[in-house]
Structure 1
Amino acid sequence: MSKHHSELSLSEVHESVDTTASHKPKWRRILAFFGPAYLVSVGYMDPGNWATDLAGGSRFGYSLLWVLLMSNLMALLLQSLASRLGIVRHKDLAQANREAYPRGINFILYLLAEIAIAATDLAEVVGMAIGLQLLFGLPLMYGVLITVLDTFLLMLLQRFGMRRLEAFVIGLIFIIAMSFFIQLMVARPDIKEVATGFVPRLENDAALYIAIGIIGATVMPHNLYLHSALVQTRKFKNTGDGIKKALKYNFWDSAVALNMAFLVNAAILILAATVFFKTGRTDVAEIKQAYELLPGRLGSEITSKLFAVALIAAGQSSTVTGTLAGQIIMEGYLKLRINPLVRRLLTRLIAIIPAVLVIAFYGEGEINQLLILSQVVLSMQLGFAIIPLIHFVSDKKTMGQFAITTTTKVAAWLITAVLLYLNSKMVADEISAFFTADVSLFWKLIVITGTAGLIVLLGYTIYYPFSKRSKRASSSPVHPEPAQLDLSDGLRSHDVIAIAVDFGKNDSRLIAQALKQGSPATKFVLIHIVESVAARFNNKEIKDQESKTDKIYLDNYAKQIRQHGFKVVWELGYGSASREIPGIVKRLNASLLVMGAHGHKAIKDFIYGSTINNVRHNVKIPILIINNDEHPVSRSE
């Protein structure tokens, strides 16, 4: 875990896709812009959508199709605003919030964003587990626990670059779309009846609850953070014309990808309405129940298998984008970077725990309620992402000529008002039901306090950007004024320089670079660690051939260095290098450690270990790292 000082969003893939290469045909340069919105769109068709779409279709027929269409139009506008922020200001939404709001408010906004990520991941966990159970007959508890394994998927995909990651996700989207296309071909819905579903109406409060769930499943807060960062993976000319072109092509990208997501969601709702509602089964609200009933209703076993395959593909594609969104939120708000694998494991464990508890104490029958609840939670988080976003893209000081027009601003605020109204009505109904139940006064006070706190926070996020304090803060630099430099200690040459050698072909470069850091008065210490199994247990008592040979090699190195007029001694350690090297460095009171980078990545780090990363956390002196085939690459403390 470390403080992340880069101002680049997703710095490891920032501007990694070049859209300016003049040697490529124009159509290829245009296609280079396409991709980010497809990663965003999978969040609009993840397993969380399925529960609300199935419930809406089976209970109310085609009548909630207009909610899906409205949600898609909302999503298209809001995602285009998120991409505009990233393209024009080169900031993601989390970074922009960190600059605009006070630290305390930012931390609360960060926690709410993390809750949204956890709710999203909960839907993915449950959906994947259900898909595995339907396809392979695996118990739901085992399926939930197995989803931990997909934490390694993003690590593997990122190794192949952004375009291949996007291609993988697009492939999963194609599987989902084709699965439902085939099912609809078999179901044969009446097109005229389907068209009536686009007339706005809500039959009762139950329809409203499902409609809010659909909106929560469609317009997802973490996607706004994600999109504002993903557009920055494209390298384009940072001129007026270059930005206009990027905005245009990214809008096309969003329109195509989100309309595809709309068609998938509509297909699920239409399938449920045709197969269940039309035949009198208005009680089908669970994915597992739909899977079991499909063969009997459609007369084909293959349709249910396609349903399960699409469910797994939806969960797997969403897990990739959820991880990226979590990274963006943590780095943007806290400037904190942790190992992506650790980040993914933490997110996944937070999602698994409630699923495991529900299955263990209430049984598999209640798992579908978790899916619907996760979407309602997402819907309640929307205001805290949308309101700051609208403020940022409306600000002419930071957006210049690319600030949104008055018409767009009115549409954005109208969408926000609709969402806030729906959410507040749902919350009021839920609180009313909660207070009529037999609940202790303590929990009633908790609910009242939490609700009041959210209302105050929402009002503050709306008000603060208009305040004089915000205007003063926005004119200040991103970083505070640095302290006066104190170079007196840094100008002294090192008294003791430790050099970790491994008797490889790169030792010459390593030692040469180390010698450049000292002076005739510097004492150099050569360090090598015997890491055999015997050495780990016997330490200095070991007298094997490897130890004897290593001593000869170290002595030979020392003699050659002395011939050039340098003072040098050597130390042989035994056991774990990541533990022994810091121990020797501290004992000798070294002021600089020079090490070579072995160049292992990904899975090789698990096999061979990551010595440098472990050593740097256990020493308090600078470390000079020499790459295998380059000059010094970094110095850290």
Structure 2
Amino acid sequence: MAKDKSGYIIAAAFIGPGTVTTASLAGANFGLHLVWALLFSVFATIMLQDMAARLGVATQKGLADAMKDQIAHPTLKILLVALIVSAIGIGNAAYESGNLTGAAIGLNAFANLGTGTWAFILGICAALLLWTGRYQWIESVLVALVFIMAGVFFITFIVAKPDVVAMASQLLTPRLDSDVITTVLALIGTTIVPYNLFLHASLVAKSSAGLDKDQAVKRCRRQSAQAISVGGLITLIVMATAMMAFFNHAITMDAANMSEQLKPVLGDKAQWFFALGLFAAGLTSAITAPLAAAYAVCGALGISDNMKGKAFRAVWLIIILVGVSVAMMGFKPLPAILFAQATNGLLLPIIALFLLMVMNNKEALGEYRNSTLSNIAGGCVVATVIGLGSYKVLGLFF
């Protein structure tokens, strides 16, 4: 268990082009006035992923299997399976195009082969890595990419010479109004990713098999908190860098030349660093999104989640193929990514409610079920996201 790094895989999964784009837009348009939403998201992610990890350790099952076991009514069970397959399976296929496009944009800054060509090459690389079926190889690549991201975005931020006074002023004046609500939901949706709950439970279930459960839970909890905090710090650095370059400046950010537009503030070298970070972010998510979908869909359909199994490989391969195909068509990713992240924020309460229900099953979880405090914290997260989503919907009519 000591060698397991599933927490960092979760960090790798949520720090993708969607996170870089959303954080950049938040910083460019609203400065650091929305950091409160990021802090809330990091806290909620640590809490919910801890639940998913405890579920995996206690039951040795993935979240999809556990959710199905919780529901006895056949019709409700069918509806649940349909929700998982559509929201996680089909949804991740849509995300994959953004992941590959984001990574391709980063590589295209180094060698101008076109984002479509790079997306195709990256899709092949992701497929080859997943095809090996060797978890430790996949884990090592993803963890390395997380640290590359952390390093390059931090260096980029330092080179940008941040205005500490302006940053502190914005941090102390949070905003929540109709103009920022979509971006707030996007920040939440890009950090608290529903498919990561399925991925974490399945990974921990496999890595903790045969080990002492108490020790496994403690190690997962500590590592997840550390890794997710690193992911939150990366997001904050990206937001602050964009704030320095764009906030209160007459410049419009566009995903296709994001790093080029940072040139006046960051200089040539930092521009390359940002492109490298965007590539790392895209590749990590291009690997984890299909992997998470395969675990979720196979669990929902009652199919073996053996990484070398035909059905498991078929699910992630279809998602990569869809992602590559859409990316090669050249659709502009910026509006789609922001919309997808906001939609993710609206989907979250449904998955979180199911998770809370499962985590209170005393018969299945025993001493690892939720405490009263965990239930209160989880309920607050769900209520907050529902409140923000309702505010957004009502704002469309009033």
TM-score by length of 2: 0.90
Partner residue, 2:314:
342
Q: 1:310 aligns with which of 257, 267, 277?
A: 277
Q: 1:426 aligns with which of 381, 392, 397?
A: 392
Q: CA deviation at 1:173?
A: 0.9
Identity of aligned residues (%): 25
Distance change >3 Å, CA 263–CA 200, structure 1 → 2: same
Instruction: Map 1:228-307; keep pairs closer than 5 Å.
Output: 228-235=201-208, 242-277=212-247, 280-281=249-250, 283-284=252-253, 286-298=254-266, 300-307=267-274
Preserved CA contact (<8 Å) 1:123 1:371: yes
Q: CA deviation at 1:49?
A: 0.7
Distance change >3 Å, CA 235–CA 93, structure 1 → 2: closer
Instruction: Map 1:556-571; keep pairs closer than 5 Å.
Output: none
Gaps of 5+ in 1: 1-18, 20-30, 434-637
SS at match of 1:304: helix
Distance change >3 Å, CA 345–CA 402, structure 1 → 2: closer
Instruction: Map 1:129-168; keep pairs closer than 5 Å.
Output: 129-155=104-130, 158-159=133-134, 162-168=135-141
Structure showing greater radius of gyration is 1
Partners of 1:197 and 1:91 lie apart in 2 by: 44
Q: 2:82 aligns with which of 102, 108, 121?
A: 108
Partners of 1:265 and 1:174 lie apart in 2 by: 13
Q: Which amino acid aligns with 1:406?
A: T
Q: Which amino acid aligns with 1:345?
A: L
Q: 1:205 aligns with which of 178, 185, 201?
A: 178
Partners of 1:427 and 1:351 lie apart in 2 by: 29
Distance change >3 Å, CA 156–CA 200, structure 1 → 2: farther
Q: CA deviation at 1:156?
A: 5.4
Partners of 2:167 and 2:187 lie apart in 1 by: 18
Q: CA deviation at 1:41?
A: 0.8
Instruction: Map 1:481-496; keep pairs closer than 5 Å.
Output: none
Gaps of 5+ in 2: 305-309
> Which has a greater percent of helix?
2
Q: Which amino acid aligns with 1:91?
A: K
Partners of 1:63 and 1:282 lie apart in 2 by: 19
For this pair of structures, how many residues does the alignment match?
388
SS at match of 2:387: helix
Partners of 1:89 and 1:196 lie apart in 2 by: 47
Q: 2:33 aligns with which of 48, 63, 66?
A: 63
**Which segment drifts farther, 60-69 or 346-355?**
346-355
Q: Which has the higher contact order (CA 8 A, sep 6+)?
A: 2
Partners of 2:21 and 2:315 lie apart in 1 by: 27
1:409 paired with 2:375, answer yes
Q: Which amino acid aligns with 1:104?
A: I
Distance change >3 Å, CA 138–CA 427, structure 1 → 2: farther
Partners of 1:228 and 1:174 lie apart in 2 by: 23
Distance change >3 Å, CA 398–CA 336, structure 1 → 2: closer
Partners of 2:236 and 2:197 lie apart in 1 by: 22
Partners of 1:405 and 1:203 lie apart in 2 by: 31
Preserved CA contact (<8 Å) 2:23 2:239: yes
Preserved CA contact (<8 Å) 2:5 2:139: yes
> Which has a greater percent of strand?
1
Q: CA deviation at 1:119?
A: 3.6
SS at match of 1:136: coil
Preserved CA contact (<8 Å) 1:67 1:200: no
TM-score by length of 1: 0.58
Q: CA deviation at 1:69?
A: 1.1
1:128 paired with 2:103, answer yes
Partner residue, 2:361:
395
1:90 paired with 2:57, answer no
Q: Which amino acid aligns with 1:105?
A: L
Partner residue, 2:197:
224
Partner residue, 2:297:
330
SS at match of 2:359: helix
Q: CA deviation at 1:322?
A: 1.6
Preserved CA contact (<8 Å) 1:119 1:375: no
Partners of 1:356 and 1:237 lie apart in 2 by: 44
Cα-to-partner distance string for 1:16-75 (whole Å, 9 max, x where unaligned)? xxx4xxxxxxxxxxx33x401111111221111111111110111111112111110010
Distance change >3 Å, CA 281–CA 35, structure 1 → 2: farther
Runs of 4+ in structure 1 deviating by more than 6 angstroms, as ranges, are: none
Partner residue, 2:162:
189
Cα-to-partner distance string for 1:307-334 (whole Å, 9 max, x where unaligned)? 1111111111112222221221122110
Preserved CA contact (<8 Å) 1:56 1:210: yes
Q: CA deviation at 1:289?
A: 3.5
Q: CA deviation at 1:251?
A: 0.6
